[in-house]
Amino acid sequence: MIEIRPIKPDEALAAKRVIYRVALVVFNDPRPLEESIAYHEARGELKDMDDIKRSYFDNGGVFLVMTDEDEIICTGAIRKLEAGICELKRVWLLTEYHGQGLGYRMVQKLLAIAREMKYERIRLETDPISQKPALDFYKRLGFYVIPRYSKRTDEIAMEMIL
């Protein structure tokens, strides 16, 4: 049974592994999964997930997981950027679950939570080349391109009015 719920404290590593598994495919990483994980962990690319409570729950947000029979298959989060504005982060769904509307369900749940928390806008960043399907998905949901709001130069920034 598919379920969406807040992440538990002991699930951060499993959630990271989902992200790394999907990223391996999305970015065409030729390395074996374990080698890719070691490389990206050394670079601190998911360091916000080392303390999910501080990065998300204590920062005006939430970190959710979607499970299928207790196995994490999808992640998604929001966190406060500034007054009235939150950021959509870490939306990753295992590729074998694509095309079933599950990513849509996760994002809709996060948008509902953002609205409940009284955010007025939600922003995100994504790679416009490697993550073109995600970019198209966000556009279909009503996100539009805005000027970059972080130092990441390989990303495109988007926003939606809640």
In 3-state terms, what secondary structure has residue 81? strand
Q: Which residues of the chain have pLDDT under 50?
A: none
| Residue 99 is assigned to a structural domain of this protein | yes
| Residue 131 is assigned to a structural domain of this protein | no
Number of domains forming the structure of the chain: 1
Q: What residues pair up with 156 in beta bridges, in sequence order?
A: 126
> Which of 52, 43, 42 lies closest to 13, judged by CA?
52
| Residue 145 is assigned to a structural domain of this protein | no
| Cα–Cα distance for residue pair 126/152, rounded to 1 Å | 10
| Residue 144 is assigned to a structural domain of this protein | no
| Residue 153 is assigned to a structural domain of this protein | no
Q: Can you give the CATH number for the domain in which 13 is found? A: 3.40.630.30
- How many CB atoms sit inside 10 A of residue 156's CB? 17
Per-residue pLDDT of 73-85, as tens digits, reads 999 999 999 999 9
Segments forming the whole domain that contains residue 74: 2-120
HSE at residue 131, side-chain half, CA atoms within 13 A, is 21
Tokens (6 digits) for 77:
């989060």
pLDDT at site 144: 97
| Residue 129 is assigned to a structural domain of this protein | no
| Residue 88 is assigned to a structural domain of this protein | yes
Nearest-5° angle of CA 55, CA 130, CA 81? Answer: 25
Tokens (6 digits) for 27:
């970015």
pLDDT at site 80: 98
| Residue 138 is assigned to a structural domain of this protein | no
